[in-house]
Amino acid sequence: MSDIFTLENKIKQMIDEMKGLCQTNGLSNQASEEVVITSVFLYKFLNDKFMANMKDFAHDMDMSTEKILQDEDMLAGFYDTYPQDVAFKYEDTIECLINKVGSNDFYKLFDDALERISNYPENEEFSIDTADGGRKPLFTRVTENVEASKRNNFAKKIMGEFRLSL
């Protein structure tokens, strides 16, 4: 039972930290704050679920997760085994992005990862049909809601939140 409370507290802490980050970047009490918090939290959840299932799959295949993530055939086998998971490529995972936080255009790498995940054919079922017949993607580019000069720092702080919760 204490694990549930620990998890609940971590989730609340992450949301509070994201709200604080949004507030310091001028997004407080705006629709873009909800988009950022929802997208970032969903990305973290889906990444963690994907990686947990990937580790199980790698164990079953007696391979490393890194090897599977870099082998298109093995990755296809993973997607067949876990069709309910959102598809990620290695470059889209938190584990990969954390290693690129020092980049001067990290915010682009982060937004590009979100956009790529939304556009993978395996993830088409996760997009939402709109009333006008269009499709809303799973993720949008979240740093575009922040002033241009603050985007890189904003994305780095998001990744810092992930690092603390790993």
Domain layout of the chain by residue ranges: 2-45+87-165
pTM (whole model) above 0.75: yes
- Please state the rounded mean pLDDT for residues 88-95: 93
- Please state the rounded mean pLDDT for residues 94-121: 95
Burial 77-106 (b: 16+ CB within 10 A, else e): ebeeebeebbbbeeebbbebbeeebeeeeb
To the nearest whole percent, how much of the chain has pLDDT over 90?
A: 64
Q: Give me the pLDDT at residue 166, please.
A: 46
Calpha distance 71→54 (Å, rounded): 13
